[in-house]
Amino acid sequence: GRGDIEISKAVTANGDGVNDFFEIRGVEYCAFSFDVMIFNRWGTKVAEVKDYQNDWGGESPDGSFGQSGMLPTGTYYYIISATDKNTGTILEPFNGYIYLGTN
């Protein structure tokens, strides 16, 4: 159910194997598809992924934030839409904040 879903609060994309990716947990045995949108503090969409697979680690779209290809460290806002693949039922969107540390 909705209460079993856990969403990352922080991403520290430094390759240490801990919090390297934005993760949606508690749904490993569910037939949900997740569409994720991430916005910066000014409301600009900085990432959008359909059928998300827990693989976003702070990359900027099209390398638009300099040589590193990573978004700057800071707080971002997410909106996640979840759809049950079996029934087509759409859950109320999840939203919240995530801290991204990329230094």
| Count: domains in the chain | 1
Question: Looking at the predicted structure, is the pLDDT value of residue 95 above 70?
Answer: yes
Q: The pTM is what?
A: 0.87
What was the pLDDT predicted at 14?
82
Query: Is 10 within 8 Å of 16 (Cβ atoms)?
Result: no
Average predicted confidence (pLDDT) for the chain: 87
List pLDDT tens digits, range 56-65. 999 876 655 5
Distance CA 46, CA 91 (A): 23
Tell me, what CATH number does 84's domain have?
Answer: 2.60.40.1220
Range of the domain at 79: 2-101
**Cβ pair 31, 83 in contact under 8 A:** no
For residue 63, the model assigns a pLDDT of 56
